[in-house]
Chain A
Amino acid sequence: MPGYNHSSSEYNREGRSEAGNNAGGKALEKNRTLDLFLSGVEKRAYRMAQLATNNPDEALDIVQDAMLKLVEKYAHKGQDELGPLFYCILQSRIKDWYRRNLVRNRLRSWLGSADAADDDEDAMQLVADPSGRTPEEIVMVNNSMAALDVALRALPLRQQQVFLLRAWEGLDVRQTAAAMKCAEGSVKTHYSRALKALRAKLGEHWQ
């Protein structure tokens, strides 16, 4: 028993400091868990948002919003719950972006001020390969990666995100339905349609 032989004031002081240490230790542990979780999902979350938005800066904004929201609202949740919660927030942010973008595009088309800003060259294509592969390998991998990106971007948003959550992130049907806020039956339909479309387009790359 801590502080058993001490006077009551010393006991209280020690007890309080121990409680403080425990609370501080727990907070530190929680922070470490969150840090580990976020560093584990940040790249995949970014790629999901990038595929949905086709814009690196928008994707970073979406990931930032999702991380802030998770930390603000659900930091106390257990590690098992963090994944589905994070993807739920991320999907919500992607949907918000999609709606905003839709309205913006409609306004642009009404005002007739559609500019050619989207025709800029993709900066990803200009980055040097860090793994030291031969030019032929790079071309092959880049070709299949580019083909995958194009095929995924061509999918309707819901199909695309359901496919990524199921096939890449490994969420089951129930978790995916919760993240996408739709019925489990819809998840199955979206996934099946996405898989069929991707196989039709990318068959030659992975068959």
Chain B
Amino acid sequence: MTYIRNQVQTDKVDKVAEAKFLAGIKQQLDHSCDALDARTLSHLNSIRHTALEHKQKRFSPLWLSLGGMVTATFLVFSLNLSSLRLPGTANATDAAPLEDIEILTTTESLDFYEEYEFYQWLAENDSSV
């Protein structure tokens, strides 16, 4: 019983000594912060401002609008590119509207065009004969 009581008392004393020791260290470390030289403090201040400015620059509306403009320019440019044809890449479907215009502007009767395929076949057979 006495042993346990002594043990508890020793633990309590140890805890108090530990708390005192830790308080001393904390105080010393706080003091070391207060004693930082002017050069270091100035550097820290500048670092903090740089970090905060970095954030403002990153999210500023100017950057957002600039990004928007770049995206819009890219979209317009890519749409133009897709409608642009290089020489020699035209195919049958591209030529179709031109044929339609030719049909619409000609003076031939519409019957001729309705039988167009027949006349084409006839012409081919005539030439082969």
Contacts and interface: CB of A to CB of B under 8 A. Distances in A.
Contacts of A39: 48
Contacts of A131: 34-35
A38 B40 contact: no
Interface in A71-123: 71-72, 75, 123
B55 A72 contact: yes
A27 interface: yes
Interface stretch (A154-162, A177-185, A199-207): A199-207
A129 B21 contact: no
B31 A141 contact: yes
A145 interface: yes
Interface in A186-207: 195, 198-199, 202-203, 205-207
A131 B31 CA distance: 11
A145 B32 contact: yes
Interface stretch (B22-30, B87-95, B98-106, B109-117): B22-30
Contacts of A124: 37
Contact of B17 (A27, A43, A207): A207
Contact of B36 (A31, A43, A70, A72): A43
A63 interface: yes
Nearest to A130: B35
Given A168-B25, A206-B20, A31 B33 contact: no
B44 interface: yes
Nearest to A32: B52
B18 interface: yes
Interface residues on B, range: 20 to 34
Interface in B31-87: 31-37, 40-41, 43-44, 47-48, 50-52, 54-56, 58-59
A153 interface: no
A142 B4 CA distance: 42
A47 B30 CA distance: 10
A60 interface: yes
A35 interface: yes
A168 B55 contact: no
A127 interface: yes
B52 A35 contact: yes
Contacts of B36: 43, 46-47
A22 to B, nearest CB: 14
B25 A127 contact: no
24 contacts: A42-B47, A42-B48, A44-B29, A44-B33, A46-B40, A47-B33, A56-B40, A60-B43, A60-B47, A67-B47, A68-B51, A70-B51, A129-B35, A131-B34, A144-B28, A145-B35, A148-B28, A167-B25, A199-B18, A199-B21, A202-B21, A206-B20, A206-B21, A206-B25
Closest A-B pairs by Cβ, 6 of them: A206-B24, A67-B51, A43-B33, A71-B55, A64-B47, A127-B37
